[in-house]
Amino acid sequence: MWNARNLLPAAVALALTTAACSDTTEPAEPLTEQEAMDLLEGYRVLQTLTDPNIISETEGGAVIECPLGGRIEFTGSAEDEFAGDTARINLDIRANPMACVVSGNGTEFTITGDPNVRERITLEIVGFFEVFDISGGTVGALAWEADDRSGSCDIDLALAAEPDLSDPDNPGVNGTLSGMLCGHEVEIDVDDLPIE
């Protein structure tokens, strides 16, 4: 017959079993620096799609299909400023991936905006290209999944670059993105960021 004396040992055993189970739950293994670089490489491919499949147009942007699955919404603006012999172009782009599958260095990641990634680029031209400055940065966060792991990647990178006008039909920049990526301090070469 069950009474309070019988229930007490059972309750203690249940509590110990529950505590033991919760103690065995391991936190998600964070991305290594190389994996973080692979994630960013896969994400950056989405910015250079030459013939994207547009799912729908939105105010100031569009939702496009990610080539490996999922979708991503890009919104942005470009503003021109002129003062004397100085011209300045400000680009402000937000990307919100939605279960978008990307691949970097052979590793596949499913990424979702957490809440999004924002890129700002300022081009400043003085005179007839006597001075050509490029600055900006990438900030935001992405939730990621890879195999049986998942987590969040905070991004806070500053852009330092100079123009590459060696091909007039396809101008770009050479420079670096440096700062924090998924908890790692990194410096990344940039050679395919469009400036058109």
pLDDT digits (tens, 9 = 90+) for 80-123: 999 889 999 999 999 999 999 999 999 999 999 999 999 999 98
* C-alpha to C-alpha distance for 143 and 43, rounded to whole angstroms: 12
pTM for this predicted structure = 0.78
Domain boundaries, the chain: 28-190
User: d(Cα 153, Cα 102) in Å, to the nearest integer?
Assistant: 14
What is the Cα–Cα distance from 193 to 97, expressed in whole angstroms?
19
Tokens of 172: 């770009």
Query: Tens of pLDDT along 58-81?
Result: 888 999 999 999 999 999 999 999
Most confident of the ranges 1-5, 95-99, 131-135, 160-164? 95-99
Say if CB 181 and CB 36 are below 8 A apart: yes
Q: What angle do CA 10, 11, 14 make, to 5 degrees?
A: 85
Nearest one of 9, 146, 142 to 72, comparing CA atoms = 142
